[in-house]
Amino acid sequence: MKKNERISIISKILSDHPNEVFSYNYFTDLLGAGKSSVCEDVAVVRNAFEISGTGRVETYSGATGGVVYHPEVLKSEEVAILEEIAKLLLEPSRKIQGGFVYYSDILSHPRYSKNIGRIIASKYGGKGIEYVVTTETKGIPAALETASYLNVPMGLIRRSNRVTEGATTSVNYISGSSNKIKTMYLSRRIDLMGKKVLIIDDFMKGGGTARGMSNLMEEVGASVMGICVIFVTKSPMEKLVDNFTSLIIMDDDDIAGAGLRVSLCSK
Amino acid sequence: MKKNERISIISKILSDHPNEVFSYNYFTDLLGAGKSSVCEDVAVVRNAFEISGTGRVETYSGATGGVVYHPEVLKSEEVAILEEIAKLLLEPSRKIQGGFVYYSDILSHPRYSKNIGRIIASKYGGKGIEYVVTTETKGIPAALETASYLNVPMGLIRRSNRVTEGATTSVNYISGSSNKIKTMYLSRRIDLMGKKVLIIDDFMKGGGTARGMSNLMEEVGASVMGICVIFVTKSPMEKLVDNFTSLIIMDDDDIAGAGLRVSLCSK
């Protein structure tokens, strides 16, 4: 295989497996090249990824040496992506009776879920996250992509007790949208004891669901490293959780008939 | 930028955006290189991707010319991935009362959802699929990844009528696991009229859910190009839908105490 082709393949493999460590032996075996050649190839890929602002390629030398790619998102790219989503939210056809905004299609679109996952993963990349958890349903795509970029599993919290989850741990929580007491369930087959988890949800108004997820994590012995919601409403200002990050603020104060206003948290 | 670095970046971009057409102008602008150089670079990437069995890079010449990457999965790779999943299914701890097998964690793991998505996308790559649809919840990750590899949106069918979906189209279906009549809902804001859709679900026993999804697609004027389920039970042999593809067969005929047996559809 030619040097150019090796570089192409290494670029593809690292890009497809973010935050996964590959040994030099893996590449020398796969590419039929010596270690010094592979080292040179990796240096080219590292430069190229750095120049194009897609992240850092780190190398570790020695017997247990290897290569790992940490994706990063430039601030300008993050803003451009979130502004694109914010613009979509403002489409008049998205208004739903009761003050809701239809955004299920946005979060289910691979283009947006991937980019949101990339943005969230780049924010939590250095925190040693071992698990991403989310509550069904609309946040699943973004949570999955975040987990994918962080190279960790995703744990799925259910809103009803399903036979296919086996025995579960459950907590009650107050659902903000309906102001009712509801229950969420996590399969006991997902072992989060002592694990560092990142909680992701699509939407926060009062923060009841996020608080429920935090309580559930405490219940199963996990350590919550962060809560990240994609959309957060401006009011109420006081949420039921203290520390959370959000990407887009929805100002749904429609009293004056101003309609929805949207702003980015990162600007 | 050096030739090697251009090759690295082109490899990453094509790999990150399967089935998306990029114009040569896009690359010449991004990389600050002439068209003939970019053409040479793309030829290297095409060779590298072909040698490594990850898919075809196609180029179109002329004024509207461009480059597109179609991911492919080698049969040997498909078998290896599905055998890994099959082996997981046989773990004794996965047995749930009532003859169910716990697999929520497998489908929620980015490693498996990505690979399953890649396998399904490579089977339906040439069929002009315009939308992937799935019914919540466990099939969402695989459906999302399939949509991502096919470069199309994912449409999410709900099992209950949610205010956040706005007006919906609904159909009734017979749920195999509970043998009850249930209802599934699709937001009317998802316009599938005349669209070629691929239906994905995680599990099929009797085929009631798949049939419901087919009926729902008919109701909204979509054209079902395929139904793909990840796990299918051997019995009953007669399913409520005729044409479907599945990846792994679960033989849950436990009468003789043999326990679960698992086999691949592709072998």
Walk me through the domains of chain B, giving residue ranges and CATH numbers.
3-71 (1.10.10.10), 75-264 (3.40.50.2020)
pLDDT at A214 over 60: yes
Choose the mutation target among A4, A57, A133 for the interface with B, i.e. most B CBs under 10 Å.
A4
- Are residues A141 and B140, on separate chains, in Cβ contact within 8 Å? yes
Q: Is B177 on the interface with A (CB under 8 A)?
A: yes
| Residue B62, min C-alpha distance to chain A (Å) | 25
Say if CB B132 and CB B143 are below 8 A apart.
Answer: yes
Residues A148-152 have a mean pLDDT of: 98
Q: Which residue of B has its CA nearest to A105?
A: B155
User: Side by side, which strands form the sheet with A245-251?
Assistant: A154-157, A131-135, A196-204, A223-233, A245-251, A261-264
What pLDDT is stored for residue A146 in this prediction? 98
| Residue A48, min C-alpha distance to chain B (Å) | 5
Amino acid at A165: E
Q: What is the pLDDT of residues A58-117, one digit of tens each?
A: 998 877 789 999 999 999 999 999 999 999 999 999 988 877 899 999 999 999 999 999
H, E, C per residue of chain B: CCHHHHHHHHHHHHHHCCCCCEEHHHHHHHHCCCHHHHHHHHHHHHHHHHHCCCEEEEEECCCCCEEEEEECCCHHHHHHHHHHHHHHHCCHHHEECCCEECCHHHHCCHHHHHHHHHHHHHHHCCCCCCEEEEECCCCHHHHHHHHHHHCCCEEEEECCCCHHHCCEEEEEEEECCCCEEEEEEEECCCCCCCCEEEEEEEEECCCHHHHHHHHHHHHCCCEEEEEEEEEEECCCCCCCCCCCEEEEEEECCCCCCCCCEEEECCC
Q: Which residue of A has its CA nearest to B53?
A: A9
Of A48, A109, A136, the CB nearest to B153: A109
- Per-position pLDDT tens, chain B of length 267: 899 999 999 999 999 999 999 999 999 999 999 999 999 999 999 999 999 999 999 998 877 779 999 999 999 999 999 999 999 999 999 988 877 899 999 999 999 999 999 999 999 999 999 999 999 999 999 999 999 999 999 999 999 998 899 999 999 999 876 778 999 999 999 999 999 999 999 999 999 999 999 999 999 999 999 999 999 999 888 999 988 999 999 987 655 555 678 888 865
| Residue A43, min C-alpha distance to chain B (Å) | 10
Q: What is the pLDDT of residues A240-250, one digit of tens each?
A: 998 899 999 99
Of B16, B96, B141, the CB nearest to A140: B141
| A chain contacts of residue B43, beta-carbon cutoff 8 Å | none
Q: Is B5 on the interface with A (CB under 8 A)?
A: yes
Q: Is A116 on the interface with B (CB under 8 A)?
A: no
Q: What is the ipTM of this complex?
A: 0.95
What pLDDT is stored for residue A163 in this prediction? 87
Cβ pairs bridging A and B (under 8 Å) = 184
Of B9, B98, B147, the CB nearest to A163: B98
On average, the pLDDT of chain A sits at 93
For chain B positions 74-103, those within 8 Å of chain A (CB to CB) are 93-94, 96, 98, 100, 102-103
- Are residues A105 and B164, on separate chains, in Cβ contact within 8 Å? no
What pLDDT is stored for residue B65 in this prediction? 79
Of B4, B100, B163, the CB nearest to A100: B163
- Are residues B51 and A9, on separate chains, in Cβ contact within 8 Å? yes
Q: What residues form DSSP beta bridges with B155?
A: B133
Choose the mutation target among A6, A10, A12 for the interface with B, i.e. most B CBs under 10 Å.
A12
What pLDDT is stored for residue A264 in this prediction? 86
What pLDDT is stored for residue A253 in this prediction? 61
| A chain contacts of residue B96, beta-carbon cutoff 8 Å | 163-164, 166
What pLDDT is stored for residue B264 in this prediction? 85
| A chain contacts of residue B16, beta-carbon cutoff 8 Å | 15
| A chain contacts of residue B102, beta-carbon cutoff 8 Å | 164-166, 187, 189
**Banded pLDDT at A177 (limits 50, 70, 90):** low
Residues A116-125 have a mean pLDDT of: 96
| A chain contacts of residue B100, beta-carbon cutoff 8 Å | 163-164, 166
Give the pair of three-digit tokens for residue B93: 């701890």
Q: Is A108 on the interface with B (CB under 8 A)?
A: yes
| A chain contacts of residue B156, beta-carbon cutoff 8 Å | 104, 108, 137-138
Residues A226-249 have a mean pLDDT of: 93
Residues A136-156 have a mean pLDDT of: 97
Q: Is A18 on the interface with B (CB under 8 A)?
A: no
